[in-house]
A = this chain, B = another copy of it.
Amino acid sequence: MENAPPRPADLSAQIASAIRDAIVDGRLRVEERLPSEAELADQFSVSRPTVREALKRLAAQSLIRTQRGAAGGAFVNRLSFENAYAQQITTSTLLLSMNAVSFDTACEARFALERACAPLSSQRRSPDHLATMRAEIHRQAQPGLTDEAFCASDVAFHRALVDGAGNPVLSYQLAGAVEAMQPLMNMITFTARSRETIVALHTGIADALEARDVVETTQGLSALESETRKIAAGVFAARAARD
């Protein structure tokens, strides 16, 4: 039961926490410069290497960046959606692979979230979003494509759909769900026949989105979900039989 009485964390972790809190609370504002490493070391009564370890922790979370030179130092980062994507995707990918989330579970989540974007996207999608989707569909129909390239194009297609909703928060959240599935999708070999089916479904979705038809878009996504799961089930079954 002696699980862990608030075990004294490392000094560098404590300092990182203190600075992180200051950023979150707004005591340190965006683009503001932190005290120099020497000053921080003095303030916290630790050595400079310890301060540096704390700063590296924060840099790893994109909370600060450092700059060398006379007017250099550590600056509070503006956490942009674009920058946060990468972290979000890395974390989501690892979560899926390390926890052995089944393909079905990940797939279910992904399409549930995508369907959540459908109403907004069919309302707000720009011609640009449609053009991107059409272009990706065209690419997916080309014969010489590797499975990896096909999956990458698939991700691009769905990102265009999601971005069409015009809500950066949605795009951010969906980035994790959609892109993190790519490694799982890459485990699948797509036959010419299954690619044909997917391209047809993609076309149906793009058409529905162009017509601003929410119901049709949603149904298209659902059809794509069941088709994707069917293909995956087939691939996994064949693989299991071979082993």
Contacts and interface: CB of A to CB of B under 8 A. Distances in A.
Interface of A: 12, 16, 20, 23-24, 26, 30, 49, 52-54, 56-61, 63, 78-81, 84, 87-88, 90-99, 101, 105-106, 108-110, 112-113, 115-117, 119-120, 165, 167-170, 172-173, 176-177
Contact of A101 (B26, B93, B169): B169
Given A95-B84, A95-B172, A109 B61 contact: no
B57 A79 contact: no
Contact of A56 (B20, B60, B173, B177): B60
A45 B9 CA distance: 29
Contacts of A169: 95-96, 101, 105-106, 108-110, 177
Nearest to A176: B173
B16 A60 contact: yes
Main secondary structure on A side of the interface with B = helix
A54 B24 CA distance: 24
A24 B99 contact: no
26 contacts: A16-B60, A23-B94, A24-B93, A30-B98, A49-B49, A49-B52, A52-B53, A54-B56, A56-B57, A57-B57, A60-B60, A61-B90, A78-B98, A79-B99, A80-B99, A88-B88, A96-B169, A99-B168, A101-B168, A105-B169, A108-B120, A108-B170, A109-B170, A113-B113, A113-B173, A173-B173
Contacts of A97: 24, 26
User: Most chain-B CB neighbours within 10 Å: which of A58, A60, A79?
Assistant: A60
Contacts of A106: 169
